[in-house]
Amino acid sequence: MSLKKLTTVVVAAALSCFSFSTAFADFARGDRGEEIVEIQKQLAVLNYEVGTVDGVFGPATEQAVKAFQTAKGLKADGVVDDGTYRNLMNKAMPPDRFGNHAITRSIMRTAYSMLGVPYMFGGMSPGGFDCSGFVCYVFRQAGISLPRMADLQYDAVTRINRSNLRTGDLVFFQTYAPGASHVGIYVGDGKFIHASSSKGISVAEVFTGYWGERYLGAGRVYN
């Protein structure tokens, strides 16, 4: 949603997102990366079904973790905290659990936890989101404040080339008017998660199909 389409139903107080700090020191559904690959490999070695070892902490990995936790008498919540990690990997949690990688994990975890939430014009809460409201909400959970509207977010980010895209970057599209009028969060593999007016929070292709024809550019929020 762009600033031009904002109506009086969205109060002025919603024009900015207020940040607060949240740090995650564990691994959970929505996380991605080499650390998840190692967890999946170890679960597979122990004969827990994780599906594809792909570095994506999805439903199959979560269920495998729960089964492992149950077998070890741990809290079966599917979250690999320090206790579960030590039991599974036979070593302490990696020391570099915070910083930019932790921000990316937080963003991905929050974004994926919202899958299926319906689209709502002007929405910026788990009850319903528009595109920029979703981005604003997800980044706020990671302690990052962004402008409320897609066109203002586009102006605020550091522009990057398509070839330099990484998980957690923002991707922008030109739809009903010139300039950035739609935004989502890049999740890797040419895909992004966003608030679709027809599907709600969902994952789509960035560079092909409907969105590929309307791709405008990308930007980085944090280093």
**Amino acid code (one letter) for 64:** A
Write down the catalytic residue from 17, 101, 131, 136: 131
Q: What is the number of alpha carbons within 13 Å of residue 35 lying toward its C-beta?
A: 19
Active site residue 101: no
Instruction: Return the H-helix or E-strand segment holding 44.
Output: helix 34-45
What is the phi/psi pair of residue 115, to 5°?
-50, 130
Active-site residue (options: 17, 101, 136, 182) = 182
Nearest CA to 27 among 134, 91, 106, 89? Answer: 106
Handedness of CA 219, 38, 115, 16 (dihedral sign): negative
Beta strands of the chain (E only): which ranges?
124-125, 128-129, 158-160, 170-173, 182-188, 191-196, 200-205, 215-220
136 is catalytic: no
Active site residues: 131, 182, 194
